[in-house]
Structure formats: C-alpha cells, structure tokens
C-alpha cells in the first residue's frame, strides 16, 4: 500500500488507511486500492507536477498569468484523464492567447523552430535530435538535414503581444521556411523517417506534424510515454535514459516494450489504464528484497527497485508523518509541495533534495542522488525537530489521547512505514518508553529515528 500510494498520489497512507488495508482479507484488495488511488484528487496534483516538469512550466519563463494558465491546462487534462494523443496534439498545434489557452505557453518556452523541434522530439518521441543541429548524429541514424526538416514544421509559427500586453498570442502564417546552414538549401517539412509534406500543403504545418506524431503506427510516440510511466513506477526504464529511444540503445525487454506500447494504443492512449496495468503486474508487486541469485540485477526487474522519494513527495511525507503542515510564500498554509505550480517557490529543502528548475525537457534534471547535505539536514535541521515536537503534531495528538505505549508505537510505525512494528522492534521500543522519564521526548527520539531511516526515505 505504501509503494502504490507514493507512486500514484505522492503521499504516505495514513495510519488508519494502512490499518484497514492490512486487515482486509479480500483477494482483490490491491486492485481496489489502485482504482481508489487513481480516483483521488491527489492523483491530479501529483501527475500535474510530473507533466509540468517535462513541459517546463515556470513563472520564470511564463510570468504569473502564463504559468497559471499552463498549470490549469495540465491539471484539467490530468483530471479528465485526457488521452495522451489528444494532449500532445493540443500542445504541438496550440494557438491563441497564452493567458487563455494554456497549451499555447509551450511556444513561449521553446521560442524558435529549432528549440521547438528539439523539445517536441524529446518530450513526445523520446528522440534526442539536438546533436544533429550542427552535424549528423554521432550515435544514431538522424542526419543534419532531418533535424532542419523537423524544424521546418514550426517555421511559420508567429507571436504577438496579447491585447492587454500581458501575454502572447500564438498563430500561424502562410510563409516561412528553414534553411540547412551547411547546404544553404531549404529544408522541406518532413517528420522523422516519413515522407515530406506536399509542396502545395495549405494549412498549419503543425497540424500535419500532430497527425504523424499521434498515428498508431508511429514507432516512438506510444513507447516514450510507456517508458516514462514504467520508470516512474518501477524505478528503472525499459530504456535508459528514459527519453533516449534509439536503435543503438535497445530496451531491456523488447517483447514487453512492444506489447505494452501496442496495448496502450489499443486502449486509446489511456494513461490511467497504463498505470493500472503496470501496477497489477507481478513485476510491480514483487518484493524489494533480492534472493541470492538476483541481488546484482539492476535491469530485468527480478525484484523491486528501491527508489528514493522525490523532493516534493519526501517533504509531504515528513509533514504527514509528523502531523504538520507547510507554509510556502504566496500560498495558503497547508498547501502541499506536490501542489506547487512553480519551481521558483522558495524552498531550501526542495532544492536540496533535487527539485528540477525546469530549464530543460530532460527528466534527468530531477535528481534523486543522495549527498551529505541531505543527510545532515535530516539529522540536524531545526525545522524537522520542530515538526516532531510540534504542539499540535502527531506525537502531541497521540499523547493527548492518553494512548498506551503499544498504541503510540503502532501509530508511529503505521504513519511512517505503513506496517506494524516487528516483535524485536516492539521489544526494544517499549522498553525504552517504559524507562523514559519524559515520554514525550522518548517518543520524539523514536520518530526522529524512523524518519532518518532508509525505510522511510525510500519507496520500496
């Protein structure tokens, strides 16, 4: 339950939710749990955060109104479970005021045909064509000419100030082309490994690109989304790096990759279907504890992969486990980290633990690599100690109910690990609590130890 909850909604289960799930005897309780999580409003918060990272939604580049419009667009798309092909089409061919049409802000982040082609290719195809801007790709078949042919789809996109001068209007014109700087020849708009657009094509070239992009036979479109979701849930992509699909970087399981991508298309690019399908698999539900034979496996999913919690999920988990709330500048008290629409919101914690600045379209910008600063922050930070000792926090609430030591221990374990303490853990902790002169301080020490453990800091 803890694994599923963190992956789908970015939150720890409450102690009551964990208690109910652990006592449930129904053989399909995991399927029911997944469906319930996918229906929660927190699912919308968490996956809006994920797609906002990839699309680089930020106040720094879009301003307040543009960022708010893009966040509303992404959020409403996630809430409606908008098919991924429709979502992609609306972004690639977006037009109109950036303050009213959230998707139009894509063209304020990628501001010229070259950047637009690179971003669309990486986000929606998982193809990194940047290397072909100056020369033929050194590790893949893409030629420099193909790079500029992709850029040509965006050569007729124009912008102008909105009527109120606070925002931008995106529109297309009937003229404009891209020239290959090496040959000085025009590059006809041509999708990767596709036929050129007819010379007499009349209309917005981006509509033709969107048609090619989202067609069921496109060899990249479904696969990159499948790979992104697989990595999010499993910790390792079928292809790594997750957004670098190429013939020289084959998947770890080609048959699985092909089958899951084909079924994703068959199910009309339904992201919830994809999440549910992966989570119901044996692969997702395996133990993280390796056997003697598969301990070295980091590729074939013979056991579940430990994943350090992302910055926002970890901060929200600390708030949940300690029974406290956060206050971010400009947002109401109680706003969770996963609900923040903007990476420029001041938070030393989120930056320390790898929040991306959204400067690039690469998922690698979000870091989950541990460092000494993170360890010292969790061990010694006054903010964390303040959460643990908060007058209206988790421990204070439990003690106010005059709970027994066993009940106190049970609540802390369920609220952090989503499990009951083992017998050895119970024996040690109860002995310490019984000897303590100040039970509140002893309970705080126990919670501090739980929060600084790998079992808390990782999803597993």
Peptide bond into 256 cis (omega under 30): no
Q: Would you place residue 242 in the very low, low, confident or very high pLDDT band (cuts 50, 70, 90)?
A: very high
pLDDT of res. 292: 85
Query: Do 114 and 232 form a contact (C-beta atoms < 8 A)?
Result: no
Q: In what order do the strands lie in the sheet with 168-172?
A: 96-97, 168-172, 157-161
How does pLDDT run across 35-67, given as a tens digit for each residue? 999 999 999 999 999 999 999 999 999 999 999
140 pLDDT higher than 80: no
H or E, element range at 430: helix 423-435
Would you say the pTM of this structure is higher than 0.85? Answer: yes
pLDDT of res. 52: 98
pLDDT of res. 264: 98
Maximum pairwise Cα distance, the chain: 86
Q: Would you place residue 133 in the very low, low, confident or very high pLDDT band (cuts 50, 70, 90)?
A: confident
162 pLDDT higher than 90: no
Query: Do 369 and 442 form a contact (C-beta atoms < 8 A)?
Result: no
32 pLDDT higher than 70: yes
pLDDT of res. 51: 98
How does pLDDT run across 354-363, given as a tens digit for each residue? 999 999 999 9
Average pLDDT for residues 136-141, to the nearest whole number? 74
Average pLDDT for residues 14-36, to the nearest whole number? 97
How does pLDDT run across 403-435, given as a tens digit for each residue? 999 999 999 999 999 999 999 999 999 999 999
Q: How far apart are CA 45 and CA 383, in angstroms?
A: 25
Tokens at residue 36, please?
A: 């319930």
pLDDT of res. 165: 66
- Computed over every residue of the chain, the mean pLDDT equals 95
In 10 A of CB 32, how many CB atoms? 12
204 pLDDT higher than 70: yes
278 pLDDT higher than 90: yes
Please give the C-alpha separations between residue 106 and each of 51, 89, 170, 192, 451, in angstroms, as whole numbers.
12, 12, 10, 21, 39
How does pLDDT run across 372-414, given as a tens digit for each residue? 999 999 999 889 999 999 999 999 999 999 999 999 999 999 9
């Amino acid at each position: 339950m803890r694994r599923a909850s963190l992956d789908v909604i970015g939150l720890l289960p409450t102690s009551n939710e964990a208690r109910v799930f652990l006592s449930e005897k129904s053989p399909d309780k995991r399927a029911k749990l997944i469906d319930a999580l996918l229906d929660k409003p927190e699912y919308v918060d968490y996956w809006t955060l994920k797609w906002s990272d990839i699309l680089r939604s930020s106040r720094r580049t879009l301003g307040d109104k543009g960022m708010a419009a893009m966040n509303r667009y992404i959020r409403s798309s996630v809430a409606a479970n908008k098919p991924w092909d429709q979502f992609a089409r609306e972004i690639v061919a977006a037009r109109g005021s950036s303050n009213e049409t959230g998707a139009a802000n894509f063209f304020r982040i990628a501001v010229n045909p070259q950047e637009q082609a690179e971003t669309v290719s990486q986000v929606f195809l998982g193809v990194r064509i940047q290397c072909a801007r100056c020369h033929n790709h050194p590790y893949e078949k893409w030629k420099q000419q193909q790079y500029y042919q992709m850029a040509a789809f965006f050569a007729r996109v124009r912008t102008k100030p909105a009527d109120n001068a606070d925002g931008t209007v995106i529109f297309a014109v009937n003229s404009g082309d891209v020239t290959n700087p090496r040959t000085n020849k025009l590059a006809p708009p041509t999708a990767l490994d596709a036929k050129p657009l007819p010379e007499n094509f009349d209309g917005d070239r981006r509509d033709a690109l969107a048609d090619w992009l989202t067609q069921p036979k496109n060899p990249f479109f479904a696969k990159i989304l499948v790979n992104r979701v697989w990595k999010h849930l499993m910790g390792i992509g079928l292809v790594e790096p997750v957004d670098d699909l190429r013939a020289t970087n084959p998947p770890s399981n080609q048959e699985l990759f092909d089958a899951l991508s084909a079924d994703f298309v068959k199910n009309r690019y339904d992201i919830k279907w994809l999440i549910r399908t992966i989570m119901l698999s044996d692969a997702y539900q395996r133990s993280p504890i390796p056997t003697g034979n598969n301990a070295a496996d980091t590729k074939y999913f013979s056991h579940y992969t430990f994943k350090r919690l992302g910055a926002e999920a970890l901060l929200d988990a600390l708030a949940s486990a300690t029974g406290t709330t956060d206050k971010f500048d400009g947002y109401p008290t109680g706003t969770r980290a996963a609900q923040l629409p903007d990476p420029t919101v001041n938070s030393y914690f989120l930056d320390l633990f790898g929040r991306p600045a959204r400067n690039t379209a690469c998922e690698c910008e979000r870091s989950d690599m541990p460092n000494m600063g993170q360890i010292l922050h969790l061990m010694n930070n006054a903010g964390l100690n303040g959460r643990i000792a908060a007058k209206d926090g988790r421990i204070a609430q439990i003690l106010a109910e005059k709970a027994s030591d066993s009940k106190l221990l049970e609540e802390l374990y369920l609220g952090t690990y989503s499990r009951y303490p083992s017998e050895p853990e119970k024996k040690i902790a109860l002995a310490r609590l019984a000897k303590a002169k100040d039970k509140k301080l002893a309970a705080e020490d126990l919670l501090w130890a739980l929060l600084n453990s790998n079992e808390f800091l990782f999803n597993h």
